[in-house]
Structure 1
Amino acid sequence: MQIQLSGHHMDITPALRQYVEEKMDRLARHVEGVGKVHVVLSVEKQRQRSEATIHMQRGTVFADSEAEDMYASIDALVDKLDRQILKQKEKNTDYRSGVAR
C-alpha cells in the first residue's frame, strides 16, 4: 500500500505520519489489491480535518472527518473508511456468489 500524505495549512510531523501509516495499515487487512492511498490533513480555524481516498482493484473509497483534535479526526476517518470497505467487499462477495439481496 502506497500512502501519500499531505498537509494543508499545517506541517506533517513524523509522529503524525507514523500514526496515519499505522491506522491505514489496519485497513489493508480487509482488502487485497489496495493501490494508492491519498490522505490530506488540514486545519480550518479551530477544526482539525482529515480526508482520504483509497484506490482499490474494485473501485475507489472516499471519506472525510472533522474533530477538535487531529488524532481524533484520523481515528474517525479510519472508522468510516473501514465501514465503507467492508460494505463494498460484501457487495462484491454477494455479486460473485449469486446470493439474492
Structure 2
Amino acid sequence: MHITISAKHMELTQPIRDYIERKMSRLPHFFNRLQEIRVIIERVPHGYHVEVVSDVEHHQDFVTNSEHRDLYACVDVVSDRAVRQLHEWKDRIRGAKKHIGTRRRLD
C-alpha cells in the first residue's frame, strides 16, 4: 500500500508528514484491500481542509473530508472517519455473504 501526501497553499514539513503517515498507516488494519491512500491538505482562510481518498480494490474510491483550525486535529478527525467508513464497508460485505434466507416448513 502506498501513501501519497500533497499540500496546497502551504509547505509540508517533515513532522506533519510523519504524523499523517503514522495515522494513515493504521487504515490497512481495518481493510486489507487498500491499494493507495492519497492525502490532500489545503490551507483555507479559516484553517485547514484535509481530504483522504482511499483506493480500494474492486470498488469506487472512498473519500473523507474534514475542516478544522488545527491541522493535527483535522488529521485526527479525517483518519477516524476513514477508519469508520472502511470498517462499515467491511461489515456490509461480510453481512451480505452470511445472509441466510428464511426456511418455511411445508406440511
Q: TM-score range by the shorter chain?
A: over 0.9
> CA-to-partner distance for each residue in 1:11-66, whole Å, 9 max, x for gaps?
11111111011001111111112101111001111221100100112422110001
Based on CA coordinates, which of the two structures has the bigger radius of gyration? 2
Gapped regions of structure 1 (runs ≥ 5): none
What residue in structure 1 maps to residue 38 of structure 2?
38
Name the count of aligned residue pairs: 100
Counterpart secondary structure, 2:32: coil
- For structure 2, the residue ranges without an aligned partner over 5 or more in a row are 102-107
* Structure 1 runs of 4+ with >2 Å offset: none
TM-score, length-scaled by structure 1 = 0.92
Partner of 1:93: 94
Q: 1:55 is matched with which residue?
A: 55
Moved more, 90-99 or 70-79: 90-99
Richer in helix (by share)? 1
**Secondary structure of 2:26's aligned partner:** helix
Q: 2:87, 2:28 → 1: CA distance?
A: 11
